[in-house]
Amino acid sequence: MGMLGTRLGDITETRDADAIVNAANTSLLGGGGVDGAIHRAAGPGLLEETRTLGGCETGDAKISGGYDLPVDHVIHTVGPVWNGGDNNEEALLGSCYAKSLEVAGKNNIRRIAFPSISTGVYRFPLDKAARIAADTVNEYLEKHPDAFESVIWVLFDEETKAAYDRAIEG
């Protein structure tokens, strides 16, 4: 089974993964937060490629090259905006992780790094998001035990890291 873990850091500087996951918006053309940081670090080639992808639905994932990033690929997934929990937000967030892992598997990506999807400007409650993330990844790894060497979350602050650590530890 793949190694799960977390660390503090800037996901755009991740060197021990084949792909990083971008918490994108539906246009895939860059935005704020992690999305903007990834687009800035990757350089103009990423925007050129994402313009050809036709956007992405909430809960889905698409792949591009990594360009000037230290990884070969970026998997773009669109997390749900939290609106109180009555609009399928939990299922959509789980789908972001599941679809990202599926896309990674189809592209022979063995080491993947995630940010905390939807917990910034999309206001998804942190502990709930971390639990969904850990549960979804664990479920995927149980079904596909040899799919990944490592699945890590690269997180920006101590509070977020602590929430994901709690979720991973169960």
For 78-87, what is each residue's pLDDT tens digit? 999 999 999 9
| Residue 3 pLDDT level (bands cut at 50, 70, 90) | confident
Architecture in CATH for domain 3-169? 3-Layer(aba) Sandwich (3.40)
Domains in the chain: boundaries: 3-169
Q: How many CA atoms lie within 13 A of 31 on its CB side?
A: 16
For 12-56, what is each residue's pLDDT tens digit? 999 999 999 999 999 999 999 999 999 999 999 999 999 999 999
Mean model confidence pLDDT for the chain: 96
Place of tokens 């990083």: 20
pTM of the predicted model as reported, rounded to 2 decimal places: 0.97
d(CA 132, CA 39): 26
Q: How many CA atoms lie within 13 A of 7 on its CB side?
A: 14
d(CA 93, CA 58): 8
Q: What is the model's pLDDT at position 1?
A: 46
